[in-house]
Amino acid sequence: MTDILKGIAASDGVAVAKAYLLVQPDLTFSKVDVEDVEHEISRLQGALAKATEELQVIRNKAAENLGEEEAQVFDAHLMVLSDPELIGAIEGNIKDNKVNAESGLKEVTDMFIGMFEAMEDNPYMQERAADIKDVTKRVLSHLLGVKLPNPSLINEEVVVVAHDLTPSDTAQLDRRYVKAFVTDIGGRTSHSAIMARSLEIPAVVGTKEITAKAAEGDIIAVNGIEGDVFVHPTEEQIADTKRQGQEFADLKAEWDKLKDAPSVTKDGKHFELVANIGTPKDLEGVRNNGGEGIGLYRTEFLYMDSPDFPTEEAQFEAYKAVLEGMSGKPVVVRTMDIGGDKELPYLPLPEEMNPFLGYRAIRVCLDQDAMFRTQLRALLRSSVYGSLRIMFPMIATLQEFREAKAMLEEEKAKLVKEGVKVADDIQVGIMIEIPAAAVLADQFAKEVDFFSVGTNDLIQYTMAADRMNERVSYLYQPYNPSILRLLKHVIDSAHKEGKWAGMCGEMAGDQIAVPLLVGLGLDEFSMSATSILKTRSLMKRLDSEKMAELSQKALYECTTADEVVALVKEYTK
Ligand SMILES: C=C(OP(=O)(O)O)C(=O)O
Ligand SMILES: [Mg+2]
């Protein structure tokens, strides 16, 4: 029987393939007293050998697909598996206490993990604790005879099914084989959804129950355009999904013709259409989709992809590659925005009740300023290779901006004194993603060079609706007049001071929002590279005067988001 699930359409495209369950198996066990300790030790040895063999395959796969550096984490795991001190302690525990291998293993590894985790100021030991946790899971899975999912080992076409995908899980998905993914939780602006769009993997998130409905190997049809998922689809549903996929592909072919066209409205008004990227590897997609620059380089992925804090040199190389790769077109680099749903294994942040309201982004950077200054130096050094704009995330107050800017100036002065060349036309701006900054935009506009509105966060904070939570996703309303009024204030405030205002939240590429934003006079639209051409195509059909009238009505006559959507449809018929 077919199960039909409705989720949030997170990344365009369709796929029909077998399910691959990326679900953590049950690793619980009971502690058992045993007589035959030798048997338990040989079970342990067997599991260690299997785990080693498996990790070697994963390591080689990672090196092949992602590069040597990314494979290093598995070397660390292999080292744990062959650590005589650790293995000796586990065997000793089994012998001395006459317990089963599962229990002998877990007790010892828990002890080491606890000890290392307690060394809070020592990121190296924190990382070792994380390695031991991972390895323990793998050995336990072999002892218990259950399978751990290994996304990097996928070598046939599948639809990945998961409760949730972290950005690092998503980064491991190989586009050749992973035809789509479907999750229980998440929203359109969760980072795994954003990454799916840049990897061009169709995705439906927030289905609530895909992991309960789909079993390994079940055929699944995914429609990432509409947000529909069919488990055991009928022939008709498969045909229908594929037909919609074909229609989308045809549209895409039309959009592709606009690759080298300017981004102008019907009446000739130009708007800048630029891209959001997470790594220098994304530049190819930006060029293929006719991006006029980079409006948001999320540098935290550089930190997330690295086994330790990236050095100044490694960062410099990445920033230089992006600036050179864009051949003088503007590049907005956002300083590290860690926290929320983005974690660093080597920077343990305290568990928080509300991580999106907690210790993240500029708050971490101003607090741990050595790390921040390293990034600023790398950025300043790269500035001579293109047109660099530096942007600070999650700014709530002017003090924060002034403090961050002062650090930037200090690092610049030091570099100049050392004889290092630094460009003297670097614009310095902020993300507007906290309502306090949006409300005070008129004052911020006097001190910053530009604004870029981060609607992913601005909407969640304004509506008090978690962007990751599908239960409140109905409140995640980009078109709510309250949001539109905030945007108007931000854009007008920038213009009053002769500054520009952009947007790098997902709303900038939203086809209902674009007519409103054109009407509000937003200068720069930054989005997933894959949304650029369809937005350019839409813009060509809009008249800027008429859109100004539309936005005026939407802001002051509409009372709900639904009314705004209806009005946009009427104005763009
Ligand atoms: C672009 C934004 O930042 P991020 O999605 O990385 O939080 C935003 O909040 O809109
Ligand atoms: Mg944000």
CATH number of 3-23+154-253: 3.50.30.10
Nearest residue (CA) to ligand 1, atom 10? 454
Alpha-carbon span 394 to 458, nearest angstrom: 10
pLDDT at residue 76, as a whole number: 84
Q: Compute the distance from residue 456 Cα to the ligand 1 centre, in Å.
A: 5
DSSP-assigned states of every residue in 167-196: HHHHHH--TTTEEEEEESS--TTSHHHHHH
DSSP-assigned states of every residue in 236-269: HHHHHHHHHHHHHHHHHHHHHTTTTS--B-TT--
Alpha-carbon span 81 to 530, nearest angstrom: 42
Q: What is the mean pLDDT of residues 13-24?
A: 94
Ligand approaching nearest to the C-alpha of 506: 1
The per-residue pLDDT for range 311-329, each reduced to its tens digit, is 999 999 999 999 999 999 9
Range with the poorest average pLDDT among 172-186, 385-399, 410-424: 172-186
Taking CA atoms, 426 is separated from 150, 449, 522, in Å, by 44, 9, 21
The per-residue pLDDT for range 254-281, each reduced to its tens digit, is 999 999 999 999 999 999 999 999 999 8
Q: Is residue 462 in contact with ligand 1, taking CB distance under 6 Å?
A: no
Q: Is residue 504 in contact with ligand 1, taking CB distance under 6 Å?
A: yes
> pTM for the full model?
0.79
Residue 67 has pLDDT above 70, yes or no: no
235 versus 121: the higher-pLDDT residue is: 235
Dihedral angle sign, alpha carbons of residues 463, 464, 465, 467: positive
Q: SS3 of 3, please?
A: strand
Minimum-distance ligand 1 atom for the alpha carbon of 505: 10
Ligand approaching nearest to the C-alpha of 510: 1
The DSSP letter of residue 297 is E
Nearest residue (CA) to ligand 1, atom 3? 454
Q: Is residue 380 in contact with ligand 1, taking CB distance under 6 Å?
A: no
CATH number of 257-571: 3.20.20.60
Neighbouring residues of the ion ligand 2, judged by CB less than 5 Å: 433, 454, 457
pLDDT at residue 43, as a whole number: 96
**Substitution candidate for ligand 1 out of 298, 468, 526 with most atoms within 8 A of CB:** 298
Type and span of the H or E element at 571 = helix 561-571
> Where residue 65 falls among pLDDT bands split at 50, 70, 90?
low
> Where residue 355 falls among pLDDT bands split at 50, 70, 90?
confident
Minimum-distance ligand 1 atom for the alpha carbon of 452: 1
Range with the poorest average pLDDT among 50-54, 74-78, 363-367, 528-532: 74-78
Q: Compute the distance from residue 452 Cα to the ligand 2 centre, in Å.
A: 10
Q: Is residue 190 in contact with ligand 1, taking CB distance under 6 Å?
A: no
- 298 labelled as ligand-binding? yes
Domain range 37-144, CATH class: mainly alpha
pLDDT at residue 128, as a whole number: 83
Catalytic residue set: 191, 504
Q: Is residue 505 in contact with ligand 1, taking CB distance under 6 Å?
A: yes
Minimum-distance ligand 1 atom for the alpha carbon of 393: 3
Q: pLDDT > 90: what percent of the chain? A: 79
- 341 labelled as ligand-binding? no
Q: Is residue 227 in contact with ligand 1, taking CB distance under 6 Å?
A: no
Q: Compute the distance from residue 281 Cα to the ligand 1 centre, in Å.
A: 20
Q: SS3 of 427, please?
A: strand
Minimum-distance ligand 1 atom for the alpha carbon of 506: 10
Q: Is residue 457 in contact with ligand 1, taking CB distance under 6 Å?
A: yes
54 versus 407: the higher-pLDDT residue is: 407
> What is the distance, to the nearest Å, from the Cα of residue 91 to the centroid of all Cα atoms in its chain?
42
Those residues with Cβ within 8 angstroms of residue 281's Cβ, 6 or more apart along the chain or in another chain: none
Nearest residue (CA) to ligand 1, atom 8? 454
- 418 labelled as ligand-binding? no
Q: Is residue 509 in contact with ligand 1, taking CB distance under 6 Å?
A: no
Domain boundaries, the chain: 3-23+154-253, 37-144, 257-571
Q: SS3 of 274, please?
A: strand
Q: 322, 333 in Cβ contact below 8 A? A: yes
470 versus 211: the higher-pLDDT residue is: 211
- 469 labelled as ligand-binding? no
Q: Is residue 433 in contact with ligand 1, taking CB distance under 6 Å?
A: yes
Ligand approaching nearest to the C-alpha of 394: 2
Among 434, 442, 365, which Cα is nearest to 406's? 365
Q: Which residue has the tokens 């502690």?
A: 31
**Substitution candidate for ligand 1 out of 170, 486, 504 with most atoms within 8 A of CB:** 504
Q: 380, 318 in Cβ contact below 8 A? A: no
Ligand approaching nearest to the C-alpha of 504: 1
Nearest residue (CA) to ligand 1, atom 5? 456
pLDDT at residue 88, as a whole number: 94
Q: 375, 411 in Cβ contact below 8 A? A: no
Q: Compute the distance from residue 526 Cα to the ligand 2 centre, in Å.
A: 13
